[in-house]
A and B are shown apart, each in its own frame.
Chain A
Amino acid sequence: MNAIAEKLPIKPNKNGSLDLSQMEDWFDQRFEEKMEEREANHTPSMTIISTKGTLDMAYPPFILASTAAALGWDVEVFFTFYGLSLLKKDLDLEISPLGNPAMPMKMPFGPEWLRKTDINIPNVVMAGVPGFEKMATGLMKKTMENKGVATIGELRSMCLEAEVKLVACQMTVDLFEMSRDDFIPEIDDWIGAASFLPKAQQADVSLFV
């Protein structure tokens, strides 16, 4: 037996040839082991595109990002268009019940029966009454506080603490003539679609909100 054959995991038979099916079994087993090893050493990653700037739509990206970070994942959130509002120093987010028919309209205080009643408000009131959105926002914030839901500010801080990368869309800032000074200094980078997509391609999970 020569030196190479000595090292082979499958020994040649007495005719000096190798049994192919034995080789295949050996390969399959090694492949499985290597794949498991790779899986065990792999850090999951997620990228999120955040495009909405209302209070209700600010929750999904920050909840998912902070939770994924807690699970040990690498997370990057790309804020574009109205999503950029979520990176402002001054977080003044509102909800708009108008054109948002699935939003429950409930009172966060008062007797039990009233709290449980979904109040159906005509579009014309939602659109025409001045301050309606301010009021709806106030009620939504109260409901969230009652239920122990974190504020967007808290969730954002927790994301930063957990080293979630928050990146902002340069084009949006130029388009709406915003000033970079209005945004939190923790923004990791100001980028465009061409910089974001390769990261999304590498990620295990990529979401659009």
Chain B
Amino acid sequence: MTTQTATQTLDARNLSCPLPILRTKKALNNMATGELLSIQATDPGSVNDLSAFCQQTGNELVSSETGEGEFIFVIRKT
């Protein structure tokens, strides 16, 4: 498996709904198709919300991990 490093990172820690989603959307707007965005968040609601966001917008949720009180998501812009 080849690991592609994220083109951009987004720090959405300590932000509540809907800010992680809005910031994600904004970050994706400035990226090219195929590029990866890595997002850090602390809002537990962001796990379901980012997954729903990807499903609706057609972007690919590459990974969704739970760390210590923190969540890390990787999204590929499509």
Inter-chain CA distance A70–B28, complex, in Å, is: 10
Q: B56 at the A/B interface (Cβ < 8 Å)?
A: yes
Closest chain-B Cβ to A42's Cβ sits at a distance in Å of: 12
Kindly identify which residue among A67, A147, A148, A149 contacts B21, using a CB–CB cutoff of 8 Å.
Answer: A67
Query: Is A67 a contact of B56 with CB atoms below 8 Å?
Result: no
With CB as the reference atom, state the residue of chain A lying closest to B49: A67
Inter-chain CA distance A66–B16, complex, in Å, is: 14
In the A-B complex, the 9 residue pairs with the smallest Cβ-Cβ separation, listed nearest first, are A70-B25, A67-B18, A148-B14, A148-B15, A149-B16, A148-B16, A71-B56, A63-B18, A150-B19
Inter-chain CA distance A150–B43, complex, in Å, is: 13
Q: B57 at the A/B interface (Cβ < 8 Å)?
A: yes
Number of chain B interface residues as a range: 10 to 19
Q: Is the interface of A mostly helix, strand, loop or mixed?
A: loop
With CB as the reference atom, state the residue of chain B lying closest to A161: B26
Kindly identify which residue among B18, B22, B43, B56 contacts A72, using a CB–CB cutoff of 8 Å.
Answer: B56
**Using a CB-CB cutoff of 8 Å, which residues 65-117 of chain A contact chain B?**
66-67, 70-72
Chain B residues contacting A149 (CB-CB under 8 Å) are 16, 19
Q: B17 at the A/B interface (Cβ < 8 Å)?
A: yes
Kindly identify which residue among B14, B43, B53 contacts A70, using a CB–CB cutoff of 8 Å.
Answer: B53
Inter-chain CA distance A22–B61, complex, in Å, is: 42
Assess A67 versus B15: contact at CB under 8 Å? Given A72-B56, A72-B57.
no
Inter-chain CA distance A149–B17, complex, in Å, is: 7
With CB as the reference atom, state the residue of chain B lying closest to A65: B18
Query: Is B22 a contact of A67 with CB atoms below 8 Å?
Result: yes
Query: Is A158 a contact of B57 with CB atoms below 8 Å?
Result: no
**Using a CB-CB cutoff of 8 Å, which residues 163-192 of chain A contact chain B?**
none
Kindly identify which residue among A66, A71, A148, A150 contacts B57, using a CB–CB cutoff of 8 Å.
Answer: A71
- Give 1 or 0 for each of B1-43: 1 = CB within 8 Å of chain A CB: 0000000000000111111011011000000000000000011
